[in-house]
């Protein structure tokens, strides 16, 4: 299982610390029950950290249509909303919000072939990501992008009560293919897909549905809506 490079400080540092603790325990009290206990606890803690930072390979679904937009994250659809104006699409938008628990894969993926226009960081609070108001007031990073046909798309990463580090190493003009990894949020969070609400969008999921990043089709945008 590949581990996300963005978490090397956590899973790498945690692994080194676990080895040091186990080595010290066996040096100080060889063949003692305390050494076995510390070994078990250290290994369990490292496995939990590594499991959070897992980064499984994902093959794109078969028979994708050009207008299909894939989920940018693993998790559960927590809300589907419409707004009159959104910076990501410069107009009315549909927001598909995904809640990621600590058990979900936290690597974010691009929903389609796009070019990054800009990223907008907004400082904020760190409310529990399960609270509806967290999407409005928490720290976030919005990636604004467009497809080759001109369709504007936004992906917004939102911190939670535990997640306090957004990883988004993208830059203006950078191009990505559908399903490409591009960032993550550490330890529980929310990710939004923002698409134009122009009458040419078919949302393919419902609130409460489980989705997989780079696998589940969240919406289909007809080419005439580009």
What Å distances lie between residue 177 and 114, 117, 185, CA to CA? 7, 15, 20
Among residues 134, 159, 189, 224, which one is catalytic? 189
DSSP 80-113: EEEEEEETTTTEEEEEEEEEE-TTS--EEE-SSS
Q: Which helix (H) or strand (E) holds 116?
A: strand 114-122
**Strands 166-167 and 201-203, how do they pair?**
unpaired
78 catalytic, yes or no? no
Which amino acids are annotated catalytic? 189
């Amino acid at each position: 299982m590949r581990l996300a490079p963005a978490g090397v400080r956590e899973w790498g540092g945690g692994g080194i610390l676990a080895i040091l603790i186990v080595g010290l325990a066996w040096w100080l009290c060889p063949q003692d029950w305390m050494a076995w206990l510390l070994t078990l606890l250290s290994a369990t803690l490292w496995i939990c950290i590594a499991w959070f930072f897992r980064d499984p390979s994902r093959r794109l679904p078969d028979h994708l249509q050009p207008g299909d937009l894939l989920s940018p994250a693993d998790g559960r659809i927590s809300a589907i909303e419409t707004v009159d104006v959104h910076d990501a699409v410069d107009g009315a938008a549909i927001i598909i919000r995904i809640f990621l628990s600590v058990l979900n894969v936290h690597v974010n993926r691009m929903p389609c072939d796009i070019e990054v226009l800009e990223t907008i960081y907004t400082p904020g609070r760190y409310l529990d990501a399960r609270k509806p108001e967290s999407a409005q007031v928490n720290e976030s990073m919005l990636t604004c992008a467009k497809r080759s046909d001109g369709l504007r798309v936004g992906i917004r990463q939102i911190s939670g009560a535990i997640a306090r580090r957004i990883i988004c190493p993208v830059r203006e003009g950078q191009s990505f293919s559908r399903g490409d990894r591009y960032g993550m949020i550490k330890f529980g969070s929310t990710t939004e897909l923002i698409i134009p609400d122009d009458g040419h969008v078919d949302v393919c999921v419902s609130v409460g549905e489980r989705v997989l990043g780079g696998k589940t089709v969240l919406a289909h945008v007809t080419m005439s809506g580009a």
